[in-house]
Structure 1
């Protein structure tokens, strides 16, 4: 092959970053591939706006099918996001013998089996390093560098918007979730409609891909227990800090024999845990492999340059393969398409962990003993109890930390507690990742 020609679909923030890298680091890329790497075509619905990068306007088109059907293009980069027309364009690219690079975690999480099977059938590759944790090369590390390991535990912060909000709430006592969200929107860290981020949907898409790579289990996001951070209260952030914890939106994967516990929710982490120190818009992945032990990956999880760097990493990997006249060296998910995992996902009701509970109870004799009695009836023992104030005429917050307990037992106990006459509303439940609390 004399050169590698690239077609780009989607000329937004990350697309402009891809163009920038291809232009500014052209000599470095060509030296590493061994042949010239050339941008042949760019498709976008808006080809008039200035993206802040130098580009030959003759490359621009509003017709994405021109890109996927161009016989001179060997690698198609899809950066438009969403399900359609992204899926149709990717499948058409496969039919035309193109390698594909995408950052589209939503598409791969929901329609991955169809997309990966189509790539396998066409004998081409699909790269998606930029779909998880931005510029952190976590997927390639899981698929190749750590392939010798069984993964006993993975804890991950996968959304910079949520991490920024929780960091700000922790560092500014009393500030509300809504105040910090507004600030995040002003700084460009959160969208005008932030639901995908703050409700955990974005992180869940990424969790599905990590689960596939580490355990060979392919499930849609709806199969995973997901909670966002919309209801995090400043009081709980302050109490977590008092107990020497920080609250993080955590993706959790734990191996339990052949079965796997996979979930996403706000979690209390000890302040000295490596992930508790991952602040602001940064992402972090902490994992334990049975051969390598503990590993920490840290870096920017979003942004033009970091995400574009991951895209170009996949492009160059495919360019190198194309230059050698080969493809499909490593399956996209690290397992052959014919592989069927023997394990299954555990239901959230089956998990066993520690809990932070907050109730609003009247400050009267016997109330706490009633609550503790209900917890005891369901095999839930207490590590700590804290009441922050006293008021004879109003309910006050009381916080409990539990020893290890089963989720199903805890949920039944909390439902009974919420029915007590001296308790207002349902208990607030947050899970804890702290092996010293057992």
Structure 2
């Protein structure tokens, strides 16, 4: 094996203008991979990012909720470097490693609920969702799965079927796997109550699927792509009751909500409900690809040996990063920090309501905050105003993400490690952007 140390990345990687790279991207990658920005990253640290032309941006998107611990946290970088000196891959199912088992123990110990739990790791959030459904079907012997409108559970075929939003995720990709159904998710701003949502399940049982054929309900404690809509406590309790009545498992999808984002390690800790299975991913490994399923031990043990796994599932570099992430959450008190930052953001947004009547709602637990814009005269979703806010913010150096079934919600996913000075700067830019829009 060569001992040469003069290897470098393609020298063209960091050179050229943003416009040149956009042209190269358009020529070589398909349009189905939508890219939100027209600039290319060069370096990043905590909540700041610089493009290849030297422009600085404050990152309130965190790679879609992946960087709760910020870009390149020193502890995460150190953990990955240390693992690199041991090995980068064995395939856990071929040659196991202790760090995987230890991380599983940590997740199980901190997961909500009193039941004895087991944990397995995968690579992506969609992969975790699909495996949770596999486990539920194996345990119950039933095929059906019920998700909710506005849900996002991934882009693979089965997770896409679970996703409750057509554009841009479903158009042109059908037919989808069978035995997937959608019920109504509560949305008080748009007149959908908990009673409406639970009643929609009763209608499904009458019109579409016998509850005796349903393996699981799956829901997000705060809908992500659907508009950062929190699940009311009485809805979750009602869902648990219906599940128990019919022998249905309850899967909570914590992929976007997990790892201190909502002010708790897992958002589902806010409910007085036991969940059978939980999916997680995104901020678990600080930017490294890692996901997993945690659940009741008896349920998790349902699939036969070899029924779960994956070549890259539980990659050792990602596992090392995840150990560091859990340590950072504890030592830097990020659960408490999420509440402090979120309260400051919500106060700033609520303070603008008298000046900006288009602001219809400011919501979300901890730092999983959203602002929804409606036309003040018609109360119709105002996607155009939302796009202008996003564009105005970006022009001033702040990246924010848009979500919601109608594209009229700005969601905020700033790193929980963000410095106060940078956070305040971001809030000032956000306020200016909303007022200018």
What TM-score, normalized to structure 1? 0.27
State the structure with bigger RCO (CA 8 A, min sep 6), 1 or 2: 2
- Identify, as 1 or 2, the structure richer in strand: 1
